Amino acid sequence: MSYLVRKAKIQLLFVSILIKKRVHSDAINKSKKTQYSIIIITSIAFAMYHHHHHQQLYVPSATPNHHHPPPMPHHTNLLEVTVVGCHKLKDTEWIARQDPYVCVEYGSSRNRTRVCTDGGKNPTFQEKFVYTMIEGLKELNIMVWNSNTLSRDDFIGSGKVHLAKVLTQGYDDSSWPLQTKHGRHGGEVRLIMHYSGANANSYVTPQVMSMYSAPPPSSSMLYPPATGGPYSMPSAYPPQPAPYPPQPYAPGHSVYPPQPYGSHFSHGSPYPGGYTLYRDTIPTKDD
């Protein structure tokens, strides 16, 4: 209770004492009694006002708690594992069909699916488990058992599931091999995994940018074919037609000597500045 409220109570007690002493006193005349009565009534009203006003305003507040609770962890590091089913499991029953179930282990967390009654070699489960990712632990342990009623369950096989792909791409739908206790193939288990904390930009398919719009010419195309030999090797491809009809030859005005028939250079090149696109890449015999 605040200081002003306690003070108001003390004033009320003091006024009540004055009333008892002054009102019942015969030595005080009537006028003085009237004055005392006015003073007493005023003091009572003042005390009651302060008592009511400060009781509403000065309410002691609780001590502020500066120890905030730790923030709830974000659900970006959760791994969802859905056990779809198994394929071609080792059969541990001689007469009846086996009843398999799958155990999933990640760190200290262990879960198991329901028993697929009469599932045989290809049981189906479709059960999902959620795990909190542990830094540095990037594999799951899988074990498949056959449920028995009157005896111990039979071990079918176990395997390890690597999480590198799902941690990078956020999704993985794969079948994982199982091994028996003798190290032989015991079947496969199919898992669908989702990881919401994967970085989408961490897996980028590399793109190769080509610097040429056409393959570069071979070294044999840098030189014109020799014409002094007795014969030349015929081209394996028919000659390409020129995009424009050849201009008539004017003696004395050509910069280059006339080319022999069957030259590998094309006429009317579309490239400016003396750059010529060579079409044929098969060298002649003299090259």
DSSP 57-102: H-PPPPPP---PPPPPPPTTSEEEEEEEEEESPPP--SSSPP-EEE
Is 134 a residue whose pLDDT tops 60? Answer: yes
Please, which pLDDT band fits residue 197 given cuts at 50, 70 and 90?
Answer: confident
Amino acid at the residue 56? Q
Q: What is the phi/psi pair of residue 165, to 5°?
A: -70, -45
User: In this structure, are residues 91 and 157 in contact, taking their beta carbons and an 8 Å threshold?
Assistant: no
Is 38 a residue whose pLDDT tops 70? Answer: no
From 93, 110, 112, select the one nearest 102 (Cα to Cα): 112
Report the C-alpha gap between 262 and 198 in whole angstroms. 62
Helix, coil or strand: residue 168: helix
pTM: 0.46
Report the C-alpha gap between 280 and 218 in whole angstroms. 10
Is 176 a residue whose pLDDT tops 70? Answer: yes
Written as six digits, the tokens of 49 are 């006002």
Amino acid at the residue 105? E
Is 262 a residue whose pLDDT tops 50? Answer: no
CA–CA distances in Å: residue 143 to residues 58, 83, 84, 89, 161: 67, 12, 14, 12, 11
Written as six digits, the tokens of 246 are 């050849």
**pLDDT for position 35:** 62
**pLDDT for position 51:** 52
CB atoms closer than 10 angstroms to residue 254: 9
